[in-house]
Structure 1
Amino acid sequence: MTDPPSLLSILTALAVFASLASRGASITNNEDNCHSTQMKVPVILDQSTATLQSPEFTADESNDQAVMCGIECQRKLPEPRPAELERLLSYETVYENGTRIFTKIKLEQFSTDFRNKSSSVVCNSEPLKRRKRQVYGMDGRFVITDKHFTTNYPFSTSVKLSTGCSGILVSPRHVLTSAHCVHDGHEYLKGTKKLRVGVMKLRSKRKGERQRGGRSRGEKRRESEAEIKEPNGKRMNRMKRDTESDQSKKTVFRWTRVKRTQVPAGWMRQTGKEVSADYDYALLELKRAHKMKFMDLGVVPAVKDVPAGRIHFSGFDNDQLGKVVYRFCSVLEESNDLMYQYCDAQKGSSGAGVYVRLRDQGGKGKWKRKVIGVFSGHQWVDVDGMQKDYNVAVRITPIKYAQICHWIHGDASQCKLV
């Protein structure tokens, strides 16, 4: 039995939820003054396909923390040419029956600006209030325990993979996650042979299901209604009964099989002991669509343009089983493809969607949360000849946006960012 929460913790939670989860709320007042401008994205077309041998699903989940090419290392790398990008963005598709195909893509309307500066984030010229925050010390995560928050937007967009990772709904039947959650760079993980995705929902008993004592739910309801009638024959307030029934509901995972998995070829390249996380993302298509609000994709070329360089993400950390864990922090360093930060996280949060809050329509429209990256996890990074540890997120660039959108819609006309 767990101890009841203290008054201080309850007040703290209410304050956090009121400011973070309520519709139209904001972490800082400055965030509401920022909006994204219109951008162009390249067009990705499928050029050819080839059938591959069915995967063996033999890879074990690795707990090793690889050393990856850091910011300085990446700056020394030559800018990939269109032909190289086409090779890296070509992809594998694995279906639930084990069929695997390789698709070679072709880039059209490509520009070198697509990699870095195809859009911008504009903020009003109010001074930003920055504050220091302790990292790798006090745990800065928020464990969301209230079922009304965990089953409603934005926390309801966070999903759990049967392989132990997290992900985020980016359409009614598509989940964005990390590539390493399904593939180790050489082979698909054992758990992906029957991969499932869990969405957190409220559990309610089905119509006609019997309660204790052998009476059906309908019989129990009729008896309850008879007991609460007033002497004049009128019913008493039904709100109390509905509330009591609602309190008995619990949150559970509703699991859905994955119809197909798509991984970019860029993730399947490894050189020596260095691992490139630039393409550590994958898209899962579910067999059954969820009638839930999802989170749109977006692109922010420079997170520093967002107030305090702040990002947010929620996932299912292993030390908080069955609970949604939310966090936010500032990005410390960023390269063309990666964001380096110290957001507190535990194993299990990998694959979570990283998002920011921006206004549409030049700052005159409604504010929206948009997924701009995927949390990859803890990595050792070479910085100035020394190894430093960071939590790393893969950023969605215009080219990656075009690819993920192509996977979702298969129609370039629907892959425009505004």
Structure 2
Amino acid sequence: MMIPRISSLIFLSWVLTSVTAYHTEVIPQKILRLMPSHFTAINTPELSTVCTEECVLRESLSDPLDSSQQLDYETTFSNGSRTLTTLSIQVESRGAQQTEKKGNPLRTRRQVYGPDVRFSIRSRRFLREFPFAAAVRVSTGCTGVLITERHILTAAHCVHDGQDYVKGARKLRVGFLHPGDRPFLRWVRVKSIKVPRGWIGSPAELSMDYDYALLEVRRTQPHPHMSLAASPPLPDLAGGRVHFSGYDSDRPGELVYRSCRVEQQTAHLLYQHCDARPGASGSGVYGRVLHKGYWRRKVIGVFSGHQWVEVSGEPRDYNVAVRLTPLKYAQICYWIRDANFSCPND
């Protein structure tokens, strides 16, 4: 069936609906044992997808509350055993906000846009302090962010290609940077991996919507960690800016920081032109959001990679982060608590 040509205004001026969930109940239904993973997939530290006009329309009209069935999740343990947990999610919604965001002129270079505004964090003081000390290196070639003393949020494609777990996930480790005259990474083994069902087997053009995973290490870590928040509407994000630090492949052994304005936003994705290279995937994307009357740095997304977006037959490119919608936020909280838990929407 022919799809009517979609005006570029759909992409350049999305109508964003943000549902404020004051009470989100996550209830497990079933835990099923699966066949052990074969760990046959090839490591892909960089994800690149194409979003056609049909995909753009679907993204612009999607609602985070329509996707609860995608929040069932798979858990893989270090011995290769797997389980599938199905969830029931109840959300009480007390209001909605609608905002419009009009795009700026779009650039056409990939990953690094114009002058490279990234800079390496070399100061011992900063490397030991929040938020930089929360960034970790994932042994498959990605980055992650410490969100509790034992849990790391990263991109799903860093451990799973949508069909199977990558080879490097069999003995997955995360590295904490220790500053000094000769900085080094202290590696810690990962105990378990959780991946949302929305990532597994998803069509390529929608794979970024659920490109996040949670890693649990065996012991608590004495490093500062970052708090999570549901991704707010752009007017509620200080300056409309996001920040993230990662281990970009072109600067080996260095932690690289960058910041930029969000260009566009859908229900599931943040589109921006933050400079990035392979290796930064999985970085915790944070912004300043209001919390109890103060502006706080909170992780509101996960950096996924690059996406070509087709608008009126014209390809345009962005670097993309997965938004933590209220349901994703509740799901990750449940993963951390591993019990029936109500997550307030920060």
Find the counterpart in structure 1 of residue 327 from structure 2: 399
Q: Which moved more, 1:162-171 or 1:273-282?
A: 273-282
Inter-partner Cα distance in structure 2 for 1:323 and 1:276: 29
In 2 relative to 1, CA 90–310 (structure 1 residues): closer, same or farther, beyond 3 Å? same
AA partner of residue 174 (structure 2) = V
- Listed as ranges, the gaps of 5+ residues in structure 1 are 1-37, 121-129, 204-248
- Per the TM alignment, residue 81 of structure 1 is displaced from its structure 2 partner at its CA by 6.8
Find the counterpart in structure 2 of residue 42 from structure 1: 24
Residue 315 in structure 1 maps to residue 228 in structure 2: no
Helix, strand or coil at the partner of 1:371: strand
Find the counterpart in structure 2 of residue 232 from structure 1: none
Does the 8 Å contact 1:314/1:349 carry over to 2?
A: yes
Find the counterpart in structure 1 of residue 336 from structure 2: 408
Inter-partner Cα distance in structure 1 for 2:312 and 2:235: 22
**Runs (4+) off by over 6 Å:** none
Inter-partner Cα distance in structure 1 for 2:298 and 2:158: 22
Q: Which of 343, 362, 375 does residue 303 from structure 2 map onto? A: 375
Q: Which moved more, 1:71-80 or 1:391-400?
A: 71-80
Q: Which of 194, 205, 217 does residue 171 from structure 2 map onto? A: 194
- Per the TM alignment, residue 250 of structure 1 is displaced from its structure 2 partner at its CA by 3.5
Residue 99 in structure 1 maps to residue 67 in structure 2: no
Q: Which of 92, 109, 114 does residue 137 from structure 1 map onto? A: 114
Does the 8 Å contact 1:39/1:119 carry over to 2?
A: no
Find the counterpart in structure 2 of residue 52 from structure 1: 34
Does the 8 Å contact 2:271/2:319 carry over to 1?
A: yes
Inter-partner Cα distance in structure 1 for 2:286 and 2:166: 27
Residue 167 in structure 1 maps to residue 144 in structure 2: yes
Helix, strand or coil at the partner of 1:191: helix
- Per the TM alignment, residue 150 of structure 1 is displaced from its structure 2 partner at its CA by 1.4
AA partner of residue 401 (structure 1) = Y
Q: TM-score, length-normalised on structure 1?
A: 0.70
Find the counterpart in structure 2 of residue 291 from structure 1: 222
Helix, strand or coil at the partner of 2:210: coil
Does the 8 Å contact 1:119/1:300 carry over to 2?
A: no
Inter-partner Cα distance in structure 2 for 1:250 and 1:75: 46
Inter-partner Cα distance in structure 2 for 1:173 and 1:80: 28
Does the 8 Å contact 2:211/2:304 carry over to 1?
A: yes
Find the counterpart in structure 1 of residue 50 from structure 2: 67
Helix, strand or coil at the partner of 1:340: strand
Find the counterpart in structure 2 of residue 90 from structure 1: 72
In 2 relative to 1, CA 78–397 (structure 1 residues): closer, same or farther, beyond 3 Å? closer
Residue 357 in structure 1 maps to residue 301 in structure 2: no
State the structure with more CA Rg. 1
Find the counterpart in structure 2 of residue 146 from structure 1: 123
- Per the TM alignment, residue 296 of structure 1 is displaced from its structure 2 partner at its CA by 0.3
Q: Deviations over 1:203-260 (max 9, x none)?
A: 6xxxxxxxxxxxxxxxxxxxxxxxxxxxxxxxxxxxxxxxxxxxxx532211111000
- Per the TM alignment, residue 165 of structure 1 is displaced from its structure 2 partner at its CA by 0.2
Inter-partner Cα distance in structure 2 for 1:119 and 1:43: 24
Helix, strand or coil at the partner of 1:311: strand
Q: What does 1:214-233 correspond to in 2, within 5 Å? A: none
- Per the TM alignment, residue 158 of structure 1 is displaced from its structure 2 partner at its CA by 0.5
- Per the TM alignment, residue 372 of structure 1 is displaced from its structure 2 partner at its CA by 0.3
Helix, strand or coil at the partner of 1:296: coil
Inter-partner Cα distance in structure 2 for 1:251 and 1:192: 25
Inter-partner Cα distance in structure 1 for 2:333 and 2:305: 24
AA partner of residue 391 (structure 1) = N
AA partner of residue 323 (structure 2) = R
Q: Which of 265, 269, 279 does residue 210 from structure 2 map onto? A: 279
- Larger strand proportion, structure 1 or 2? 2
AA partner of residue 267 (structure 2) = N
Q: TM-score, length-normalised on structure 2?
A: 0.84
Find the counterpart in structure 1 of residue 189 from structure 2: 257
Does the 8 Å contact 2:22/2:94 carry over to 1?
A: no
Find the counterpart in structure 1 of residue 314 from structure 2: 386
What percent of counterpart residues are identical?
44
- Listed as ranges, the gaps of 5+ residues in structure 2 are 1-19
- Larger helix proportion, structure 1 or 2? 1
Does the 8 Å contact 2:68/2:327 carry over to 1?
A: no
- Per the TM alignment, residue 119 of structure 1 is displaced from its structure 2 partner at its CA by 11
Inter-partner Cα distance in structure 1 for 2:92 and 2:39: 36
Find the counterpart in structure 2 of residue 11 from structure 1: none
Inter-partner Cα distance in structure 1 for 2:279 and 2:86: 32
Helix, strand or coil at the partner of 1:46: strand
